[in-house]
Amino acid sequence: MKKLLIVMLLNIPVQLFSQEPAQVRRLGYDTVSIHHEHAYNREELKIYNRISNRLYKAGTLLNGKKEGIWRTYNENGTLNRVEEFHSDVSNGILLTFETNGSLQREQYSQNGALEGILHEYSGGILKLEEVYENGKLNGWRRVFTQEGKLQEEGIWKNGQRDSINRWYYPNGKMLITYTYRYGTIAGPSKSYSESGKIKAEGNYFNNLEDGSWREYYESGLLSAEGNYTSGKKSGDWKIYSEDGNLMKTQLYKNGLLIKERVESKCDVLKMSQ
């Protein structure tokens, strides 16, 4: 439905009243005004490039204010921008285009504020999807790579990240997940290796690691576990070997290693090698 609307907008003629008697006036060097007999309060305005004399911008004024579809053109004559106005305020669709004519941006406004779904493209490939409500990000947001692969996705509320947000490796595997609240990281988080295996998991508070954390080997076995306080290691941290045995226990205070106890079994193993 939206694609049909875009096609219709691009094909609406600039002169909406071309079949009616018109009075053409030149306003200065670069502007032409067209008044139609049965629409005295409405005029078409065409603005030309002062150097090349090519059409630069065209649209309609109603009682001296922008109304309906306005178009802006590149120097080569291709469309640069299509924007819908009501009473001089952006209201409706806005399309921008790359110099080769490809769609670059599609968004909608209501009374000057972004509303609904926004899309951004590069070279015909979708780069960004966002949902707006009353001018603020409010809903899902997705960012894509130059190849069109999902790079980031998450929920936003009142212009801030909220709930779970995810990032991905170029191969499509999950990189990391954060839980947000009012724009700050607060809650569970998990990071993954490029193969898809979990690397670490724990909690955040106020953008810092806080509470219980676990780290893992690529095999999936536990490599370390302990606690963070305001982003710093604290208390006992247990370090495990790749075969699952406890190797040592480290004591931290404010992120500093205070002491370390090596498990006797590991000492025996070292002596036997």
**CATH code of the domain made up of 2-212:** 3.90.930
The pLDDT tens digits for 190-221 are: 999 999 999 999 999 999 999 999 999 999 99
Query: Are the CB atoms for 183 and 207 separated by under 8 Å?
Result: no
Sequence spans of domains, the chain: 2-212, 213-273
pLDDT digits (tens, 9 = 90+) for 25-56: 555 556 676 666 566 688 888 999 888 889 99
Contact 221, 240 (CB under 8 A): yes
Amino acid, res. 15: Q
User: Helix/strand/coil (H, E, C) string of the chain?
Assistant: CHHHHHHHHHHCCCCCCCCCCEEEEEECCCEEEEEECCEEEEEEEEEECCCCCCEEEEEEEECCEEEEEEEEECCCCCEEEEEEEECCEEEEEEEEECCCCCEEEEEEEECCEECEEEEEEECCEEEEEEEEECCEEEEEEEEECCCCCEEEEEEEECCEEEEEEEEECCCCCEEEEEEEECCEECEEEEEECCCCCEEEEEEEECCEEEEEEEEECCCCCEEEEEEEECCEEEEEEEEECCCCCEEEEEEEECCEEEEEEECHHHHHHHHHC
Q: Quick: pLDDT tens for 168-189.
A: 999 999 999 999 999 999 999 9
Which pLDDT score is estimated for 16? Answer: 42
Please state, as a whole number, how many other Cβ atoms lie within 10 Å of the Cβ of residue 228: 22
How does pLDDT run across 237-263, given as a tens digit for each residue?
Answer: 999 999 999 999 999 999 999 999 998
Q: What is the pTM of this model?
A: 0.81
